[in-house]
Structure 1
Amino acid sequence: MTTAHTTRTRGPASRRVASERGYALVALLALMTVLMVVMMAAAPSIQQQSRRERELEAIARGEEVAEAIRMYIHYHPTHQPPTSMEELLDGVTPQGSTKKIYVLRASAARDPLSKSGEWRTVKFNDPAFAIFVKDLTEYANGRLPEPTTDPELRALAGQIPRPSVILNLGEDGGAPGGEDESSSSNGPFLGVASRSQHDSIITYYGIERHDHWVFTPFFK
């Protein structure tokens, strides 16, 4: 008994379908490649925009902290500045009152530019403050800015670095990158600065380095 074997051959229609599938796969791979190239090209722009938004948020929060320091000094019974961020967050009770005034939101007490989220407190003798005043002077074409018109703050203005000290600071080097990991010791402070030691995308009073942005009520 002989068994007949039937051999099936692929017709033109089958070959056409297979060919179309091959072309579709090639087109899909090409599209994916183009999308990857576009995404890689756009990534730096997206990162830059994200960083720019964080810088704007840092300025907004920093200026809120500066205003909180001003209010704290204004309402404090002896018109003294706060000695820690916790004290600033805790608020102040004016003389002759039993009601505490809260001057700072918890969200503003966080630095959006640093990994730790912790502001560095700037004290009267802090070199960063002297550099900030120097930068402000250069931004104002050599005119030393007036500290403040607030009477309570003016009483403390004598502790601000003298012009001779400011002008002899010399040129500052480039931003080292990284983050300032030093601890903030307790003590009266008049402003805060970011712990980020990177160059900035935007400028604050002409300053292009995060840790040189000092947010203080003495110069606004």
Structure 2
Amino acid sequence: MANPNICITKLPAVRTVSTSHVASNGCVHRARIREGEGGYILVALLALMTVLMLAMIAAAPSIQQQHQRELEREAIARGEEVAEAIRLYVEARGALPTSIEQLLEGAPIGIKKKQILRATAARDPLSRSGEWRLVRPNDAAFLEFKRAVILYAGGQPPQGRQLPALLRPFAAPVVNIVNLGTTASTAQPTSSDEGSSFNNTGPFIGVASRSRRESVINYYGIDHHDAWVFTPIFR
């Protein structure tokens, strides 16, 4: 039996939203937020890539110059090794070598042959061919190099180690330094950056690179590869 003191009020129906609908809206909302964030990230990545690309472009000349500098240092080290091999060869045989192969074969020391030149030093790292240009005692390149060295040393030939008797006349001072030209490359003007017309047989007193390019390093004040003469006369 119903209690007459209790008032029963009929509440209006409340519209409920399904959890699946809420979940669906929530997912869509979150997806939109993530989509917006992705756009900002893409813009930031593009900006970063642009900055890195500009930095690489700016650094490229410096990297290339450093690479050339390392090649030139290696060329000088190898060239001076060839020069020392020439000195040892002359000291042992009493004659100038006529080919790089003779230096590679070694020089007789007593009853044995001593290695005086490594195979790697017999290659020019500055030229595409890898072959050294042989410099004769009467080559203009040698006379020009002698002039450059004397000027670099203040007008006096630098004092090196004692030379074999055969090599001493080549160390004589240049009679007229002024009229021997400049320290630039002695090669004839050409569109090529490498010489290829030099004979590689016959007595030689030094070697030079076939590369005609301008150098990063100044060797005795000389700024072209083909004007660097590696000889035992000046070491």
Please give the secondary structure, in 2, of the residue aligned with 1:39: helix
Q: Report the TM-score, using the length of structure 2 for normalisation.
A: 0.79
Amino acid at match of 2:140: P
Q: Tell me what 1:5 maps to.
A: none
CA distance in 2, matches of 1:101, 1:24: 67
Trace 1:179-190 onto structure 2 (pairs within 5 A).
179-190=194-205
**Against the structure 1 CA distance between its residues 173 and 72, is the aligned structure 2 distance closer, same or farther, given a 3 Å change threshold?**
closer
1:138 matched to 2:151: yes
By how many angstroms is 1:170 displaced? 2.4
Please give the secondary structure, in 2, of the residue aligned with 1:82: coil
> Retained in 2: the 8 A contact 1:144–1:163?
no
Q: Tell me what 2:168 maps to.
A: 157
> Retained in 1: the 8 A contact 2:184–2:224?
no
1:171 matched to 2:188: no
Q: Tell me what 2:72 maps to.
A: 55
Query: Would you say how many aligned residue pairs link Structure 1 and Structure 2?
Result: 208
**Against the structure 1 CA distance between its residues 166 and 187, is the aligned structure 2 distance closer, same or farther, given a 3 Å change threshold?**
farther
1:127 matched to 2:116: no
CA distance in 2, matches of 1:41, 1:144: 43
Q: Report which stretch shifted further, 127-136 or 19-28.
A: 19-28
Q: 1:114 aligns with which of 127, 135, 138?
A: 127
By how many angstroms is 1:158 displaced? 3.0
Give % identity. 53
Q: 1:35 aligns with which of 33, 52, 76?
A: 52
CA distance in 1, matches of 2:146, 2:160: 9
CA distance in 2, matches of 1:100, 1:196: 33
**Against the structure 1 CA distance between its residues 198 and 133, is the aligned structure 2 distance closer, same or farther, given a 3 Å change threshold?**
same
Q: Tell me what 1:93 maps to.
A: 108
Amino acid at match of 1:183: F
Q: 1:105 aligns with which of 115, 118, 131?
A: 118
**Against the structure 1 CA distance between its residues 166 and 146, is the aligned structure 2 distance closer, same or farther, given a 3 Å change threshold?**
farther
CA distance in 2, matches of 1:63, 1:107: 13
By how many angstroms is 1:181 displaced? 1.2
Name structure 1 gaps, 5 residues minimum: 1-7
> Retained in 2: the 8 A contact 1:122–1:191?
yes
1:65 matched to 2:82: yes
Q: Report the TM-score, using the length of structure 1 for normalisation.
A: 0.84
CA distance in 2, matches of 1:217, 1:14: 78
Q: Tell me what 2:208 maps to.
A: 193
CA distance in 2, matches of 1:166, 1:122: 20
1:18 matched to 2:35: yes
CA distance in 1, matches of 2:172, 2:195: 23
Q: Tell me what 1:3 maps to.
A: none
> Retained in 1: the 8 A contact 2:184–2:227?
no
Amino acid at match of 2:180: L
Name structure 2 gaps, 5 residues minimum: 1-23
By how many angstroms is 1:162 displaced? 6.5
Amino acid at match of 1:115: R
Please give the secondary structure, in 2, of the residue aligned with 1:19: helix
Runs of 4+ aligned structure 1 residues displaced above 6 Å come to none
Q: Tell me what 2:227 maps to.
A: 212
CA distance in 2, matches of 1:20, 1:44: 38
